[in-house]
Each structure stands twice: as C-alpha cells, then as structure tokens.
C-alpha cells in the first residue's frame, strides 16, 4: 500500500511539472482584424527545428510609410521551453538582398506556445523577404564577455 502512495505521488508530481512548461491561450472567436495571408514556400532540413518553431501562418501588410511588413506565427510543438534564433532578409524587385541586419534575434517559446515575430523592410524598394530559422543550441551572435586567452608559447 505504501508503494502505491509513493507511485501516485510521483505520478502527480510528474504531471504537474510537465504542465508548467505549456501555455494556454484565449482569443476572440470572431476576430475583427483580417490578415493578408501569404502563401509560403518552406524548405525543411531540420525536423527537430521545425517542431520547435513551426510556421503556422504568414501575413503581410504595408506600413503607413509604404514599407513592406511581414508577420509570422511560430508555434513550439514540443512540451518544454525551446529557444530559436531567426533573421529576416529583404529583397528588391531583381531578387537582390538589401541591407539586412546581420544579427540574429532570439526567441524563447514555452511548450505549445504560439508567438508572432515581425519585421519591416529596410528600404521602400523591398518587395520580397526570407525568414531563416536556426536552432539556438550552442549558437550566439554576441561576443563572449571573457574570451578565452591565447595559449602561452
């Protein structure tokens, strides 16, 4: 009997701790704002990354100044907190990449969470964009605060 109590307590603890890494969301059933959905082309080379940052949908708009703007919904399909790095690249009518911020941005997603990332074109000549997603494991774009010393001769 004591064994069953311990097993029950361990099961409850495991279920409770698993529930801490997920997100519940509530939104209007009939939203007023209607997005301009963008058909997208996906090149998936890393299925694990695709589950960490699954692209749910892509929307676009123009800013009041006439610049292209893109919004991407990402969902973490895993149960635990996951981190992902991303970068948008903008292109002109000839397919030439425009000045793009070389620094990747980081995003932390709770288990099951859907988040929106956005970017605005860097030039009024931008007509297309590309979103690149990277696993954040072991990746950083910021210099180390204490870089390793060079070995002594």
Residue 127 CB burial class (10 angstroms; 0-12, 13-18, ≥19): middle
Three-state DSSP at 145 gives: coil
Q: pLDDT tens, position by position, for the chain (153 residues)?
A: 444 344 444 444 444 444 455 666 677 787 767 777 888 888 888 899 999 999 999 999 999 999 999 999 999 999 999 999 999 999 999 999 997 677 899 999 999 999 999 999 989 999 999 999 998 875 444 333 343 444 444
Return the residue matching tokens 């072991």: 138
Architecture of domain 40-139: Sandwich (2.60)
């Amino acid at each position: 009997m004591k064994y069953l109590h311990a097993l029950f307590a361990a099961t409850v603890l495991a279920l409770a701790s698993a529930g801490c890494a997920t997100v519940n969301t509530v939104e209007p059933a009939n939203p007023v704002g209607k997005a301009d959905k963008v058909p997208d082309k996906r090149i998936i080379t890393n299925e694990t990354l695709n589950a960490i940052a699954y692209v749910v949908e892509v929307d676009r708009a123009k800013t009041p100044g006439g610049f292209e703007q893109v919004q991407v919904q990402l969902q973490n399909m895993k149960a635990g907190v996951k981190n992902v790095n991303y970068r948008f690249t903008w292109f002109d009518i000839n397919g030439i990449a425009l000045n793009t911020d070389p620094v990747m941005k980081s995003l932390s997603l709770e288990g099951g969470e859907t988040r929106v990332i956005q970017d605005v074109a860097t030039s009024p000549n931008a007509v297309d964009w590309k979103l690149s997603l990277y696993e954040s494991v072991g990746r950083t774009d910021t210099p180390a605060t204490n870089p390793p010393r060079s070995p002594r001769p």
